[in-house]
Amino acid sequence: MNDPRDLSAEIDWERLARAETHLLRISILELLAIDGGRALSPKEMAHELQASLGNVNYHVRELCESQLIRLVYEHEVGGTIEHFYCLPDHSAADLYERLKP
């Protein structure tokens, strides 16, 4: 019988370890945590981290699959859809402030 206090049964530690081992993934997580939590698009992350957009997109997808970040908003820009992500336990209040007309 499982002990309800045993939280290890709910966490996929291997997936978490794989997601956090890449330096760019750690940088993305740290970037999203600034100022109590922010929502950023991969384009904004690439700019701030001085990394290629393709590389950032790949790692954002991996972090999202690992549920270490979440998609909070989609915004159409010039015929393409820009996606914004934040940490799972943060709201995207800063995003809504920036996108208000």
* pLDDT of amino acid 49: 97
Would you say residue 4 has pLDDT above 60?
no
**Stretch 19-47: mean pLDDT:** 87
pLDDT of residue 9: 45
In terms of phi and psi (left: phi > 0; alpha: psi -120 to 50; beta: otherwise), the region of 7 is alpha
Q: At a CB cut-off of 8 Å and minimum separation 6, what does 53 contact? A: 42, 43, 46
Q: Is the pLDDT of residue 12 over 90?
A: no
The more confident residue out of 8 and 23 is 23
Q: In a 3-state reduction of DSSP, which class is residue 40?
A: strand
Q: pLDDT per residue over 35-77, tens digit each? A: 878 899 999 999 999 999 999 999 999 999 988 899 999 988 8
What are the DSSP E strand ranges found in the chain? 70-77, 80-86
Mean pLDDT of 5-27: 66
Exposure class string for 70-88: b at 16+ Cβ within 10 A, else e: bebeeeeeeeeeebbbbbe
With H, G, I as helix, E, B as strand and everything else as coil, classify residue 89.
coil
